[in-house]
Amino acid sequence: MTSMSKRRTLSLLALGLAAALSTNSAVALEGIPAEMWANVPQPAQQACVSAAIEGRTFTNVRVHELPYLDNTLFEFKTLTNSGQLGRFCIDEAGVQVPDCGKAMRSANAKLRYADYGAIEPALWAQLQSVPGEYRVPVGVWLHTVEEYVDPRASAARIATAKANNTEKQRNVKDAFTRLTKRLGIDTVRPILGAPAAEAMLTPAQVLALAREWPVVSLTWEGPRTPQSTAYFDTVQPTRSATDCGTNYCTGVDMGVCVVQDDKASDPAEVRIEASYCGYGNASTHSECVGALIAAEDAPHGLAEDADVFFADSLNCYGSHADALAWCNEQDYTFTINWSETCSALDNRLLDYWAKQSIWRLIVVAAGNEGPSAVSCGNSCGSGAIGTTTCKGYNFLNVGAANDCGTTVRSDDEVACFTSSQNYNGDNEVPHLVAPGQNIHYSQATQCGSGTSFAAPIVSGIASQVMQKGGLEGQPSLVRAILMATADEDTDGTRMTRAGWTQTDHRDGVGEVNASLAIDLADPDNVADGSTDGTENGYHFVAFNEDDNPGGFQGDTYYLKTTQSGKKARIVFVWGGIGTCRNAEAGDCQDQTLDADIDLQVVGNGTTYWSSSVDNSYEFMEIPLAANQTYTIKTYIYDWNTGITWGGIAWYVDDFDN
């Protein structure tokens, strides 16, 4: 067949697909963009047409590449006419696949392991260009099967689980030490508080470890680099502050642990703690990150009474493992603020610690891709956005906004240097943005521009939210509250829900709003499950697979309206697992969501879904009618591990733009 004939056949198929869909009111491809369908082979498209005509509505799709099997799987999320979630799984030949291809994916992983062992792709690519005598920084993850405890369990139960997990870590690290001695490897350092280590290894040593039992993942850590920052001389205006009811919110009794690879100068409110590896010098960057959290002038952190600690990394291997471990080990309810670049090991460590130590809120800078000095209203060249530096599922990932030199928020724009990414099409990174252009923390000190300075602003606001609601030790709730109230759109495309065509990944759910977040955090807004409902609400959520195997789970929440013309922003967040247990089974290539959970809202005769596939949150912003009660439910689509916890929050306002 000629190329022209092929193109004509494809065009006719596309027309047939459109005609089939347009003639059946029960059929829709809601949420899946045309460019996705363009990448689906013709036999698979035809199978989808048949399924759609039978009454399936397609809401999302996950693509599984299986290069070792020379195949690709398409896992479609669907809705039936009765409103039930389902799945439709086919391969590129249009053949329906049992168990959504889990057996095929496992077979593909085993074939890959036979070739590469535990070496992850980025490290393997790096080894091809490294001379044999050179050493490269490698992150090592070790085999453990640890217990995760419901955070509502007793203190004694949690302490017992932690002691048991620590013993498992000790045993596997001892086994790894014996292995490295046998192989003559003397450049390994275990990481405190995790089944992990770092090493400087030659290619031959990496290969020697690739198939040994304790090792389940070997990652390329790369040279550590600071966040790039563009410096300016302009002064950002002061904005009005927020309050904690009758008392001004100052972050009192809250703690923030700042991870940097250099020391800060000594603003009086910043405590220098931990150890220092000698990599770099004190810098304005460090000083600004610490001081912005505690700066008294809005729109900065406003947590002037928070305890701010610096954790300077001991190691120069390519990750920040030692500094992160120091923060995690302290007997203190820290928010961890991280304004540095991330390695694969860093991401996995923080996902691991967030799951094992649930009282840590982790705020990270999204990263900067080619920052440049632009004025309000101008784009950054082509507007191209690079990949984000930090994916971790348990993070609150923060991009930068440009306030355009005014005290109002309505003209704010996303800073064009903010790195962003939609993994699998719907993982919104960054999650939200905060002021990050032309930043200063005093008239005398100009910080410059960068997501490095947006993150500590959010850490400071998070301290106020915790103070207002007594939410220290509840990071999932704080994440949900901050995202539900991040009302300002900064890139011209308002996000209405998480999912394909609704994604708005440059600024996530919008720009943080300290005033709304603190208002929502009021303890009076804790949802009690009453059918009377509330306009604003939040609640802690925990699921165990044994009790919640799938389908609609947990409590039903009720949103009650009093007037028309309002909108509701509703967010549900949960966590991910950082550990991996079986490299051969293919579960060590990346962090994994605890579960795939969706969000449903029903009210005024309409059903709304947020049904993404690779988010650790679901989000929607919907119009409201007066004097209506809307029900909010969570739906467990799939489990990846046995337990998860999270937070749900909703907020009602005008949200005009």
Please say if the pLDDT value at position 484 is more than 60: yes
Between 572 and 44, the more confident residue is 572
pLDDT at 186: 92
- 629 Cβ contact list (under 8 Å, min separation 6): 531, 533, 558, 559, 560, 561, 603
Report which residue type is found at 526.
Answer: V
Alpha helices (H) along 432-494: 451-469, 475-484
Q: How far from chain centre, in Å, is Cα 130?
A: 32
Confidence bin at 274 (pLDDT 50/70/90) = very low
* pLDDT, tens only, 202-259: 999 999 999 999 999 999 987 655 555 554 444 555 555 566 765 678 888 898 988 8
Between 3 and 608, the more confident residue is 608
Please say if the pLDDT value at position 461 is more than 90: yes
* pLDDT, tens only, 404-425: 877 788 888 888 888 888 776 6
Average pLDDT over the chain, rounded to an integer: 81
CA dihedral over 552, 556, 562, 568, signed as positive or negative: negative
Radius of gyration of the chain (CA): 25
Residue 236 DSSP symbol:
P
The helix/strand count (H/E) of the chain reads as 13, 29
Please provide the CATH number assigned to the domain covering 117-220.
Answer: 3.30.70
Judging by DSSP bridges, how do beta strands 136-142 and 196-201 pair with one another? antiparallel
CB burial string 323-356: b at 16+ within 10 A, e below:
bbbbbbeeeebbbbbbbbbbbbbbbbbbbbbbbb
Please say if the pLDDT value at position 9 is more than 60: no
* pLDDT, tens only, 552-570: 888 899 999 988 889 999 9
Distance CA 635, CA 637 (A): 6
pTM: predicted TM-score of the whole model, two decimal places: 0.90
Measure CA of the first residue to CA of the last residue in the chain; give whole Å. 51
pLDDT at 567: 94
Distance CA 27, CA 79 (A): 10
Q: How far from chain centre, in Å, is Cα 27?
A: 32
CA 439 to each of CA 234, 268, 292: distance values in angstroms, whole numbers, following the listed order: 8, 20, 9
Mean pLDDT over 545-549 rounds to: 87
Strands annotated E in 345-418:
361-365, 395-402, 413-414
Q: Which two tokens stand for residue 206?
A: 């990496």
Instruction: CATH 3.40.50.200 in the chain: give the residue spans.
Output: 255-518
CB 496 within 8 A of CB 620: yes
Judging by DSSP bridges, how do beta strands 334-338 and 255-260 pair with one another? parallel
Scanning the structure block, which residue is given the tokens 């988010």? 615
Please say if the pLDDT value at position 278 is more than 50: no
Alpha helices (H) along 485-612: 514-520
Q: How far from chain centre, in Å, is Cα 428?
A: 7
Instruction: CATH 3.30.70 in the chain: give the residue spans.
Output: 117-220
Q: 398-407, 431-440, 569-578 — which one is most confidently predicted on average?
A: 569-578
* pLDDT, tens only, 242-252: 667 656 788 88
Distance CA 623, CA 602 (A): 12
pLDDT at 558: 95
CB 597 within 8 A of CB 510: no
**CATH domain 255-518 topology:** Rossmann fold (3.40.50)
Confidence bin at 76 (pLDDT 50/70/90) = confident
CB 222 within 8 A of CB 343: yes
Report which residue type is found at 215.
Answer: V
